[in-house]
Chains A and B, each alone.
Chain A
């Protein structure tokens, strides 16, 4: 069984402030973890992924995430928020090894205040 928990359905930050979106997971097998961004009326776009290589993963648009097995976490960060970062962010999980279905979290809507 696997699950993804995103703490905070809405997060507000000021432009230029640190962005921190939280994701915790549960998986019975070593996980692959993903962060996706969704802009209004658009499909999901991959920001970054962890696939058992480096635990600190850098993605597009200045985002990064760190896999912490001891905390079962994969939090998404960005040092300085831009207005264009306002969107909904989804953490997702699949098990490693062959086909495994992907489980998504419920999403966190990021608001950037000018």
Chain B
């Protein structure tokens, strides 16, 4: 597709369950970012991939959160033992990585933990 896509668009899960959120970046974009947006807040950085490697994972809140990008394209954000506080919109963005590069955002996955 032409833009960044994310699946599912909505995910409802029970506290304690495991979830996976998927991001398909724009073809050819080497940089991929995950953000979390809580209600009434701006996006909060989670992790940045350059190619297959996580170049900066300093935003992951704890070890229940993990992300992979095994082939340098699609990325999966994984959350173990979900908590109600994990409820948020999870945004993915990609960029071609240059000076002042623009990040192109997907529509997000709304995660609700009950």
Contacts and interface: CB of A to CB of B under 8 A. Distances in A.
Interface of A: 4, 9, 32, 34, 36, 41-46, 49, 51-52, 90, 92, 96, 99, 101-107
Given A41-B107, A101-B48, A101-B59, A46 B102 contact: yes
B105 A45 contact: yes
Contacts, number: 56
Contacts of B25: none
A49 B102 CA distance: 8
A45 B41 CA distance: 16
Interface residues of B, number: 26
Contacts of A9: 40
Interface string B22-51: 000000000001010000111111001010
Contacts of B91: 43-44
A36 to B, nearest CB: 8
Contacts of A104: 35, 42-44
Nearest to A104: B42
Nearest to A99: B55
Contacts of A49: 100, 102
